[in-house]
Amino acid sequence: MSAEEQVLCVARQGLPAAWLGRRTALPLTYAQCLEVLSAAGCGYRPRRDAEQDPRFKQLIPYLVALDSRGLKVGCYRRKGSETRLHGLESVGIGGHITLEDAADASDDLASALARGLHRELSEEFAVLPQPIEPIFQGIINEEETQVGHVHLGLVFLLKVAHPEAVRPAAELHHFRWLALSPALRRPLELWSRLALRLVQ
């Protein structure tokens, strides 16, 4: 984490109570989600501060990759910059939206989210077959962990037509395609379990 990194956050007090449950997986349209986030007030804050301040939720696009038949999910072992999740497995691919993802200070929320998501995909996959058309599913939230207190997940589904052609980058440690039932028996992070409720 760069000391100067600025990440996109939303004020917790502006979010509906239904978004802030202890274990929340809430289906929404993208238009509904963007309307709530815009009204709540989004802005960029130093990541170092945001990680310690539960008055704000850092927005994290969290993409779940399924094969085109929806039978297998991409799963990997956590080994990235978020050390608090090491030792767990995940089906979610994504990360923070940074100030660099905005074209300028007046850039709209949807554009910054789209750029951030596509940047993360380009960083975490060496090869990802086209087309890349993420479909928004809803939001996830948990209040049981230190990580959960300060993050809000925006869940996207990506159907991959040729999963055998996917080549992960180094951060997706031990990436593999698993049938959904075996995947749920893995030591998944809580966000992954919540996200799978939205995409099944």
Fold of 6-199: Nucleoside Triphosphate Pyrophosphohydrolase (3.90.79)
DSSP letter at 102 equals: S
- Express each pLDDT in 68-123 by its tens digit: 988 999 999 977 555 555 579 999 998 999 999 987 655 689 999 999 999 999 99
DSSP H stretches of helix in 42-107: 47-50
Lowest mean pLDDT among 58-67, 82-91, 178-187: 82-91
Q: Which amino acid is at 119?
A: R
* pLDDT in the model for residue 106: 57
* pLDDT in the model for residue 78: 75
**Is 5 a residue whose pLDDT tops 70?**
yes
- Closest to 123 (Cα-Cα) out of 195, 184, 63, 200: 63
pLDDT over 90 for what percent of the chain?
Answer: 81
Contact 185, 89 (CB under 8 A): no
Lowest mean pLDDT among 99-108, 167-176, 191-200: 99-108
* Buried b / exposed e along 44-76 (16+ C-beta atoms within 10 A): bbbbeebbebeebbbbbbbbbbbbeeeebbbbb
**Is 173 a residue whose pLDDT tops 50?**
yes
* pLDDT in the model for residue 81: 54
Contact 65, 175 (CB under 8 A): no
* pLDDT in the model for residue 22: 96
Q: What is the pTM of this model?
A: 0.93
Contact 75, 184 (CB under 8 A): no
- Express each pLDDT in 30-49 by its tens digit: 999 999 999 999 999 999 99
Instruction: Give the tokens for residue 57.
Output: 């939720």
| CA–CA gap between residue 184 and residue 130 (Å, rounded) | 27
